Amino acid sequence: MTELEALLERAATLAAEAGHAIMGVRTGGFTVQRKADNSMVTAADTLAEAIITEGLRDTGIPVVAEEAVADGAMLHATPRYWLVDPLDGTREFAADRDEFAVCIGLVEHGVAVLGAMCLPATEEIYGGILPMRLAWRQHDGKRHAIAARRCPPEGLTVLGSRSHGRAGDLGELLAGQQVAHTQPMGSAMKFARLAEGAADVLPRTGPTMEWDTAAGQALVEAAGGRVLTLDGTPLRYGKPGWRNSGFIAWGAA
């Protein structure tokens, strides 16, 4: 097993553990609080982040995690670091929808090279290693390879945000493309659906944070897709404030 494969197994195990803890919080009940930027946070976010950061500690690789940054941790990009979103889709979680994800990405020299993702509500786990072009889905203890698909003749299936963006924005981004179906969906789980060939394009016109996208980008690109900025350049990491501008993720060319 290579080092990246071992790191992916560690990240996938931690994502699953965090996902189990999140579902425990959901069952037991929780309150929603607001962070300084007015975004939502719950006990599930903080518990999941604690599980992941503690589990990654002995990898010796710095961890940049959403709630730590929100609490004022002074973290900076290094040549190699983890990016952790312990509960992507807190809005959907709080609304009792199943569209939320645990995301753990590894960045090397600005490139998302590894991603692990858990969808706690469905107990699906995804993993991808970009340099090896290795991507898989695990469910009910069974793991199989996945791949992004080429656009079918009838046109694109577009994964639109449930909570962000406007239909007009999508129209501008996809001008000249034949669209067969648009499916609204919350959280980073859209990356997983793109990587496994269930859809063709994931556009996002507004800003996101780097921990929102690193695991998903590594997964999609390991599965044969690509994630670009709205200017058409590859989405990269280590930017000021950990902030992305818009992006568009595609399945296979």
Q: Which residues of the chain have pLDDT under 50?
A: 167-168
- State the burial class of residue 144 (Cβ atoms within 10 Å of its Cβ: 0-12, 13-18, 19+): exposed
Q: What is the pTM of this model?
A: 0.94
H-assigned helices in 29-65: 43-56
pLDDT tens per residue across span 42-58:
999 999 999 999 999 99
Domains of the chain are 3-145 (3.30.540.10), 156-250 (3.40.190.80)
pLDDT tens per residue across span 166-199:
544 666 677 678 888 999 898 999 999 999 999 9
User: For residue 68, which phi and psi values (nearest 5 degrees)?
Assistant: -65, -45
Predicted confidence at residue 201, as pLDDT, reads 96
Residue tagged 């930027």 (tokens): 37
